[in-house]
Homo-oligomer: A and B are copies of this chain.
Amino acid sequence: MKSKLSSVMEDYLETIAMLKKRGDGVVRVRDISALLNVKNPTVNAALKTLSVKGYVVHERYGYVTLTVKGEEKAYDIQRKHDMLFKFLTDILGVDRHTASFDACKMEHAISPKTSIRLTKFIEFSEEGLNKENPQWLKNFKHYLETGKKPSCNMRKVKK
């Protein structure tokens, strides 16, 4: 009964969830096709697939809604996306546009195990009493700019 979804189908779920959470709160075929840059009939076909599998409800000429199963799945994907985006921007320092683009593809590629570890890694980089970056992350940013990692010796150098 697992009937795994393709990454394309996952994208549709993610998009529907995103559209629900903004604008007028309802989701039409047009909105989905606009966001995913596909034509209406393509969206229709996808919705057919997703409704047969129990992820969405879509009556002829009506709005699109997620089932509980669909919401859960969409939420999972969005969490992964947000986590990856954060990792790419906050830790690696990738620009927002590239990070967003890559996160959209990586979210379908990483296993739960990797997802959990990356999440922990982000938490680790944020943990602590002060909200500032930890020193190691500052050192990495410095390394990105200069190609040099502050060594023990360097830290002793004055000025």
Taking beta carbons and an 8 Å cutoff, which residues of A are in contact with B? Answer: 88, 91-95, 98-99, 101-102, 105-106, 108-111, 113-114, 117-118, 120-121, 123-124, 127-129, 134-136, 139-140, 143-144, 149, 151
**Across-interface contacts of A139 in B (CB, < 8 A):** 124
Q: Taking the full assembly, how many copies of this chain does it contain? A: 2
The secondary structure that dominates the A interface is helix
Measured CA separation A49–B39 after assembly (Å): 28
Measured CA separation A118–B99 after assembly (Å): 12
Looking at the assembled complex, report how far the CB atom of A109 sits from the nearest CB atom of chain B, in whole angstroms: 4
Asked if A111 contacts B117 (CB within 8 A), the reply is: no
For A113, give its contact among B94, B136, B149 (CB under 8 Å). Answer: B94
Measured CA separation A151–B118 after assembly (Å): 21
Asked if B149 contacts A127 (CB within 8 A), the reply is: yes
A sample of 19 inter-chain contacts (CB < 8 A) reads: A91-B121, A92-B114, A92-B118, A92-B121, A95-B113, A98-B114, A99-B114, A102-B114, A106-B109, A108-B109, A117-B144, A120-B140, A120-B143, A124-B140, A124-B149, A128-B149, A134-B136, A135-B136, A136-B136
